[in-house]
Chain A
Amino acid sequence: MVKATDILDQEPILEVKDLQTSFFTDKFEVKAVDGVNFAVPKGKTLGIVGESGSGKSITSLSILRLIQNPGKIIGGEILFKGENILKKSEAEMRKIRGNEISMIFQEPMTSLNPVYTVGQQISESFMIHQNMSKKEAMKRSAEMLELVGIPSPKQRVKQYPHELSGGMRQRVMIAIALACDPELLIADEPTTALDVTIQAQILELMKDLQDRLGMSIIMITHDLGVVAETCDYVAVMYMGKVVEYAKVRDVFKNPKHPYTVGLLNSLPRHDIDLGDVELQVIEGSVPSPDNLPKGCRFAPRCPFATELCHEKLPDLEQSDNGNQIRCWIYTDEWDGDQEVDVSAKRTT
């Protein structure tokens, strides 16, 4: 078994080891996150990519321990600055949330409380974590709005969420998240619900703020384009497991896992000329999480799958170029074509 920190050039601020989060219904257990490993380098951005249902959002909520019933974190470790936060009390956890680790969500339209002003909602962070007075917190809130690029912040703090556009609201969410100068910001699909032009602005803002404030970011997305623009490292998730974990540049240059290759093939590229190549789609769809494949989770959709893939689940292993990959093709046990070229798919 490999260590997630192996591929980092920096110290990790957060290391997730064998995280397992399940949802329990009357009849069965759904393993939404099933033994996930990755590390987030200090001051850098890790992307977590996957289709919906891959467990990427559950992973992010697990880090803040915000999983609600009937969900439960049932195993693993989450080391934040070397301490396992799964062992912390709820009170200790509250001191971390919004203070040391913050989060912004996919739906800016519904993520702000409709009955409180923007100012009240930002102030709350200051008042909880820094014991500020109401007046002081409100002043700092206006400064935060200015920081996230909202014009006339002194007026805006008095407004209610419904008076702001989606992009504005996401800026407010970022202001709330960054109020207490966290060391780690988790962004769960922060731009998915926004218009394309606004998406670019928000991503630009996040990068700019990272440069100025130096926090680490986990960028959760289904969009490899976002990863290419904003991330330094990336973990590709499929059905509750990390299937490929590497530096972004290595993944784009030399993707190893057939699923990663599939994702890349479905992405229109402007950076390199691929000639007259059609965009590919990954055949099939994500299996229902209560009916997991026995072997590799991706086997039913994988064009290279052999009997071995259907029977046995591969481990995450270090490949020759440093990527960590969960695929039989790169192991000695591989029972298929030894000369198989996964990335060759792209030019066919």
Chain B
Amino acid sequence: MFQFIVRRLIQTIPVLIGVTILTFSMVRLIPGDPAQIMAGESASQEQIELTRERLGLNDPLPVQYFDYVSGVVTGDLGNSIRNGRPVADEIKVRIGTTVSLAFYSTLLSVFLGIIFGVFAAVRRGKLSDTLVMIAALFGLSMPNFWLGLILIQYFAIGRDVLFFNTGWFLASGWGTWQQMVLPVITLGTAGAAIIARMTRSSMLEVIDQDYIRTARAKGVKERIVVYRHALKNALIPVVTVVGLQFGALLGGAVITENVFAINGLGRLMVGAINSRDFPIVQSGVLVFAFLFVFVNIMVDVIYRLLNKRIDLN
């Protein structure tokens, strides 16, 4: 397994190089003088020249790229235009928030998705199956910013219901559980819907397999047939979807952070785009991509652990 992880890490190197090339080119693709862009619109001529010097913009492109990558590797991502602080520091203080938001949302979507997917599969064709699948379809058709606002309206601002008010949670920030509940639901719902659909169809495929009949012929209880014999097999393709979902979720975090005023990477980036703070945008995109690539490696490892049929070599 260790060997597999190492091999998988080596395999991602070309992708990581490609990602850095793209983020590197990003700044140079923007119409205008890259030095001006990286120094900010209000920069003085002197500052612009300083930036040009620092980025080595007079060097040939390969040299510039090499400088960029060595900066990335050593953690030197330049300085923010807005407040002049190192980009690496700005990202460092926020990355934990975004990762935990994405992590808890993934947890929620996996949990709900599998439960409802199995529930629907076991009741195939019945009314409860149809209802769950309709709910799932709604779940993946909802814009998460809208869902977030609705949740805020009903569960943060609150409504008077009989003798109590439903404003149980907080509408902004990240840290306490009252702050975390609504963003996690907002971000996790679409994933839960997709995982539920995937789990259901995967379960329906597995439940017709010969080895399920073998288990039944052994006298295994139907509940155990479903949860021990079928589910473990059905989860194998679901794991892949969870990995992909984590990517969609990282993207969704950008929006969710904005809805709930959470001071994470996504909010930092949107703010940076609006104020044309390109060093931040460039590195933000890079960090998100790296995160996703490494999550995919983790997913691969889990996939191998679950799927015994795959040869480790």
Assembled-state Cα–Cα distance A291/B214 (Å): 32
A140–B71 Cα distance when bound, in Å, is: 62
Chain B residues near A254 (CB, 8 Å)? none
Which residues of chain A have C-beta atoms less than 8 A from B232's C-beta?
A: 115-116
Chain A contacts with B in 117-144, Cβ cutoff 8 A? 124-125, 128-129
Are the C-beta atoms of A64 and B211 separated by less than 8 Å?
no
Point out the residues of chain A lying under 8 angstroms from B209, CB to CB: 110
- Asked whether A113 and B216 contact (CB < 8 A) given A94-B221, A107-B210, A162-B308, the answer is no
Question: Does A66 have its Cβ within 8 Å of any Cβ on chain B?
Answer: yes
Given A162-B308, A176-B218: A113 and B233 within 8 A (CB)?
A: yes
Task: Identify which of residues 72-88 in chain B touch chain A, using a CB-to-CB cut-off of 8 Å.
Answer: none
**Which of A71-79, A96-104, A207-215, A293-301 participates in binding chain B?**
A96-104
Supply 19 further A-B pairs (C-beta < 8 A) apart from A98-B218, A105-B210, A112-B211: A64-B217, A66-B216, A94-B220, A94-B221, A95-B219, A103-B217, A111-B210, A113-B215, A113-B233, A114-B211, A114-B233, A114-B307, A115-B236, A124-B215, A124-B220, A125-B218, A129-B219, A162-B308, A177-B217
Say yes or no: A110-B210 contact (C-beta < 8 A), given A66-B217, A128-B220. Answer: yes
| Residues of the B chain whose Cβ atoms lie less than 8 Å from the Cβ of A103 | 217
Q: Are B218 and A113 in contact (CB under 8 A)?
A: no
Minimum CB–CB distance for A322 against chain B, Å: 33
| A176 and B213 contacting across the interface, CB-CB below 8 Å | no
Q: In this complex, what residue of A is CB-closest to B308?
A: A160
Task: Looking at the assembled complex, report how far the CB atom of B265 sits from the nearest CB atom of chain A, in whole angstroms.
Answer: 37
Interface pair A97/B229, CB less than 8 Å apart = no
Determine if B308 and A97 form an interchain contact, defined as CB atoms under 8 angstroms apart.
Answer: no
Nearest Cβ on chain B to A309's Cβ, whole angstroms: 37
**CA of A35 to CA of B148, assembled, Å:** 62
Which A residues touch B309, using CB under 8 A?
114, 160, 162
Pick from B210, B214, B308: contact of A115, CB under 8 Å: B308
Chain B residues within 8 Å of A124, by CB: 215, 218, 220
Among A96, A107, A112, A116, point to the contact of B219 (Cβ < 8 A): A96
The residue in chain B whose Cβ has the minimal distance to the Cβ of A122 is: B218
203-243 of chain B: CB within 8 A of chain A: 209-211, 213-222, 229, 232-233, 236
Residue from B217, B236, B306 within 8 A of A97 (CB atoms): B217
Closest residue of A by beta carbon distance from B213:
A66
Known: A160-B308, A162-B309. A113 touches B211 (CB 8 A): yes
Instruction: Considering the complex, give the chain A residue whose CB is closest to the CB of B208.
Output: A68
In whole angstroms, what is the CA distance A124 to B222 when docked?
14
Shortest B293–chain A CB gap in Å is: 27
Known contacts A160-B308, A162-B308, A162-B309; A112/B221 CB under 8 A: no
Residues from chain A with a CB closer than 8 A to the CB of B214 are: 105, 111-113, 173, 176
Query: For residue A98, which residues in chain B have a CB less than 8 angstroms away from its CB?
Result: 217-220
Bound together, the chains give a CA A111 to CA B211 distance in angstroms of: 4
Chain A residues with CB under 8 Å of B218's CB are: 97-98, 102, 124-125, 128, 176
**Which chain B residues border A176 with CB–CB below 8 Å?**
214, 218
CB distance from A83 to the nearest CB of B (A): 17
